[in-house]
Amino acid sequence: MTDIMTARVTAVHRERYELMCESGELPAGRWQSYILLKREAKFSDDRTGALREKYAKTKAIALWNKQRKKDSGKK
């Protein structure tokens, strides 16, 4: 399955389970637990890739903050 297809399936499932949580059909804590377990499994399956992804996310946030500080000084 490609990343795009996986993202679409994940988005559909997320919407479905969020609706189930809102209706009370599924406890919200169970959904959160699933998300945490999924993240943990991803890390244990591909530690290097997970760390690389975490680093990229952190770097993107740092660059965004740097740009925001730079832009606020131009007023």
Between CA 27 and CA 20 the distance in angstroms is 8
Residue with tokens 């297809």: 5
Residue 43 has a pLDDT of 77
**Overall pTM surpassing 0.85 (yes/no):** no
Residue 34 has a pLDDT of 81
Token pair listed for 46 = 């591909």
Between CA 17 and CA 43 the distance in angstroms is 23
What does each of the 75 residues of the chain score in pLDDT, given as a tens digit? 445 445 555 777 778 877 887 888 878 788 788 878 888 887 788 888 888 888 999 999 999 999 999 888 765
**Which structural domain, as residue segments, surrounds residue 52?**
3-72
Between CA 51 and CA 38 the distance in angstroms is 15
Residue 2 has a pLDDT of 45
Token pair listed for 39 = 């993240």
- Report which residue type is found at 39: R
Please state the domain count of the chain: 1
